[in-house]
Amino acid sequence: MTSEGEALAFLEGIRAQHRMARHHVYAYVVREGGRVRYSDDGEPAKTAGLPVLEAVQHAGLSDVIVVVTRYFGGTLLGTGGLVRAYTQAAQAAIDGAVLLRMSPCVDVELRVSYADYERAAHAARLAGASVGSVDFGEDVLARFTVPADEQELVGELAALLRGSEEIVVSAPYWAALTQHD
């Protein structure tokens, strides 16, 4: 999720999926535009949305929305119980999520001989690149995705290939990379 519009569309999807629920408490943090929002959705003020937002912020997350859907079952939790319930639900959702690290990246594309491909691929892996695609034809057309701060790979590839091959580098863009703890 990279925009407030995407967050609100996700929220509407949850509301549509759980029409009979009493509350859809949410919090989101969107890096673009610095948007930070939460809603108690009918719960007493600051007993629901704020605890969800605090769980998101404590985890250091951005470009994320957490929605906690509550069906009223007849038991009144009180303000302390609501804060605990929403905090625990948000934390459980965050703990169970697959976290992605967003990073500025570039694509590096090169056409090499079969003899040079393995050396180029090895250098790319050492630089933290992931293989985007490889087309084996008369020669090898390889595309690697590289964190933008690791562009010294381009120089290494040029030296490795003795400047005999053309290397094309894309403009930087944001990409999600799986976070490894």
Domain end among 48, 76, 97 = 97
Q: Quote the pLDDT of residue 66.
A: 98
* Structural domain of 17: 4-97
Q: Quote the pLDDT of residue 32.
A: 84
Count of the separate structural domains present in the chain? 2
**Which domain CATH number covers 149?**
3.30.70.240
For the chain, strand residue ranges (E) read: 23-30, 35-39, 64-70, 100-112, 130-136, 140-147, 167-169, 173-178
Q: Quote the pLDDT of residue 74.
A: 81
Domain end among 97, 113, 134 = 97
Domain end among 82, 97, 112 = 97
Q: Quote the pLDDT of residue 177.
A: 61
Q: Cα separation of 22 and 32, whole Å?
A: 31
pLDDT < 50: residue spans in the chain: 178-181
**Which domain CATH number covers 53?**
3.30.230.30
